[in-house]
A = this chain, B = another copy of it.
Amino acid sequence: MHSKNVTAAYGSKAGSERSTTAAQPVGGLAAAAETRLVAWLLRQLGNPDIEVVLWNGTSVCPSRNPVASIRIADRATLWRLMYQPELAFGEAYTDGRIEVRGDLVALIENIYRRPEPALAQWLWRPRRPHHNTLAGSHDNIHRHYDLGNEFFRLWLDDEMVYTCAYYPHPGASLEEAQRAKMEHVCRKVVLRPDERVVEAGCGWGALALYMARQHGARVRAFNISHEQILWARDRAAREGLADRVEFIEDDYRNISGRYDVFMSVGMLEHVGPEHYGELGRIIDRCLTENGRGLIHTIGRDRPMRLNAWIEKHIFPGGYPPTLGEMRPIFEPFNFSVLDVENLRLHYARTALAWFERFERSVDRVAAMCDERFVRAWRLYLAGTHVAFTTGMLQLFQVAFARGGANDIPWTRAHQYA
Contact = CB atoms under 8 A, between A and B. Distances in A.
Interface string A154-194: 00000000000011111000000000000000000000000
Interface stretch (A76-84, A306-314, A408-416): A408-416
A230 interface: no
B330 A327 contact: no
Nearest to A335: B301
Contacts of A28: none
A332 B302 CA distance: 7
Given A322-B327, A324-B326, 15 more contacts: A168-B411, A170-B410, A301-B331, A301-B337, A301-B403, A302-B334, A322-B331, A323-B324, A323-B327, A338-B342, A340-B340, A341-B412, A345-B408, A391-B403, A416-B416
Contacts of A336: 301, 342, 344, 391, 394
Contacts of A341: 338-339, 412
Interface string A376-417: 000000000000011110100000000111101011110110
Interface residues of A, number: 44
A303 interface: yes
A226 interface: no
A168 B166 CA distance: 25
B322 A413 contact: no
Given A168-B413, A303-B331, A339 B342 contact: yes
A113 interface: yes
Contacts of A330: 301, 324
Q: Name, among A167, A331, A394, A408, the residue most crowded by chain B CB atoms within 10 Å (CB to CB).
A: A331
Copy total for this chain: 2
Interface of A: 113, 166-170, 301-303, 322-324, 326-327, 330-332, 334-342, 344-345, 389-392, 394, 403-406, 408, 410-413, 415-416
Q: Name, among A167, A389, A403, the residue most crowded by chain B CB atoms within 10 Å (CB to CB).
A: A403
A413 B168 CA distance: 9
Closest 5 CB pairs of A and B: A391-B404, A324-B327, A340-B340, A302-B331, A416-B416
Contact of A404 (B113, B170, B322, B327): B113
Contacts of A416: 411-413, 415-416
Contacts of A337: 301, 323, 340, 342
Q: Name, among A301, A389, A392, A410, the residue most crowded by chain B CB atoms within 10 Å (CB to CB).
A: A301
A113 B402 CA distance: 13
A75 to B, nearest CB: 35
A404 B406 CA distance: 36
A340 B335 CA distance: 15
